[in-house]
Amino acid sequence: MPSSKRARLAIFLTVFVDLLGFGIVIPILPLYAKEIADHPSAWMEGVNHFLGLGGAGTTPGAFWAGVGFLSFSLMQFIASPILGRTSDKVGRKPVLWMSLLGSSLGYLMLALTSRFEWMLAARILDGITGGNISVAQAAMADSSAPEERSKAMGMIGAAFGLGFVLGPALAGILSGSAFGHHLLATRGWHLPFFVAAGLSLLASLLVVLWVPETLDDEARTRARSSESRGHALVKAFKRPGMPQILFVSLLAMAGFAMMEGTFALLVQHRFGFHQREVGYLFAGIGILLVIYQGGLVRMVSKRIPERGALIAGLIILGITLPLMPLAAWMWPFLLLLVPLSWGSGMSNTAGSALASRLTPPEDQGSLFGVLNAMTGLGRIVGPAVGTFTFARWGGQVSYTVAGITLALALLLALTLSRKVHA
């Protein structure tokens, strides 16, 4: 196997192990935060009163679940460009190892607490060190020819999908296990978060033992040179076509994150589901992501230009999201998960590949740091708007706003030149 293929396989497996832990946390974090927030401290009660969330028909726990998502995303928005640029200068491997250790410690803090303040501190820590995906994307780009970038980004997407297949299913199993109930009842500890911490620690060990350094010495020297200095965000915005791609990524993620932050709340309200059932639904979404990112992306990239794939993915998502609160259980709702997953996979992969093509090798880490900062900003705005509108006006308003946000991303994507990928 050529060294570039070995490198991509090693990066894929490392990202998969880490995202398996991430997949455990995401479906149960909103319900976990909501449960904690149902017993608010004095300052939280003051915030509830100020926002009008204490009356009948409101769901203050949904708002505090959004705060849990927002804190992670805010820190990731600040830290991702810094970590990405650092990886351009010192290499991908040390930065990837450090960020995985931070994720492990953050999950461990979640496992040991039943207080909202400590949950918030854990999400902040995980966000600060949460640049592992941007660094892994840069490493994938290092190991790929420009014409293979869509497939390389698809491997990262497939790792996401597999993490969302096995992670949520594992979350459901662990949450419902006798040992999980025993730990929670006797010590107030959360078994799923312990397992997530262990998986991120295992991923950090895989980096040390197996992942090669993908950035050569010449590229690192250029990254440290005076000609390449400058704020990563400013440099990215100077590249033709990049401002549109970055803002499309922001809006697309904001719309999708409105769903991501409220999905567990929606199915709990509509169908009476709890952690186990939510975990299984997220596993289904993960299977669909794997089908697209692990196979369909190759066919799409051969037949549809990346600009067209980006536009198509945004259209699919923008139509699907407002329909989700209207669908009756079971088949109509389940069928909507197909365009939800494939539209997301199509737009994310195409956007990342387009951005990578516009950027020289010595700035790939910086690029993906900025790109993930913009999507991180979407993860701040999306859950904040989604959970607040859900708490005040219900799921239909929340998911309609998500669809409108995707429509705005589509309008911006249409302004991209047809030759932007050349």
Closest among 148, 147, 193 to 174, alpha carbons compared: 193
Evaluate whether 18 touches 132 at the Cβ level (below 8 Å): yes
Sign of the CA dihedral with 325 first, then 331, 336, and 341 last? positive
Helices (H), 38-91: 42-50, 60-90
Evaluate whether 358 touches 242 at the Cβ level (below 8 Å): yes
d(CA 70, CA 120): 10
Token representation of residue 148:
């293979």
How far CA 104 is from CA of 25, 98, 129, 284, in Å, comes to 12, 10, 10, 25
Evaluate whether 370 touches 167 at the Cβ level (below 8 Å): no
Question: Is omega for the bond preceding 258 within 30 degrees of 0, making it cis?
Answer: no
How high is the pLDDT of residue 224? 65
CATH number for the domain running over 3-413: 1.20.1250.20
d(CA 204, CA 101): 6
- Look up tokens 């516009």; give the residue: 358
Token representation of residue 204:
């950090």
* Beta-carbon contacts of residue 343 (< 8 Å; ≥ 6 apart): 312, 313, 314, 315, 316, 317, 320
d(CA 50, CA 338): 39
- Look up tokens 């990405």; give the residue: 84
How high is the pLDDT of residue 255? 92
First to last CA, the chain: 29
d(CA 59, CA 169): 27
How high is the pLDDT of residue 226? 47
How high is the pLDDT of residue 355? 79
User: Could you list the mean pLDDT of each consecutive 10-residue stretch along the chain, which spans 422 residues?
Assistant: 64 80 76 75 82 69 75 78 81 87 89 85 85 77 72 75 76 83 83 88 85 76 57 67 86 89 82 75 78 76 81 92 84 88 85 77 72 79 85 86 94 79 44
How high is the pLDDT of residue 2? 42
How high is the pLDDT of residue 110? 86
Closest among 191, 206, 208 to 159, alpha carbons compared: 206
How high is the pLDDT of residue 278? 77
d(CA 72, CA 377): 10
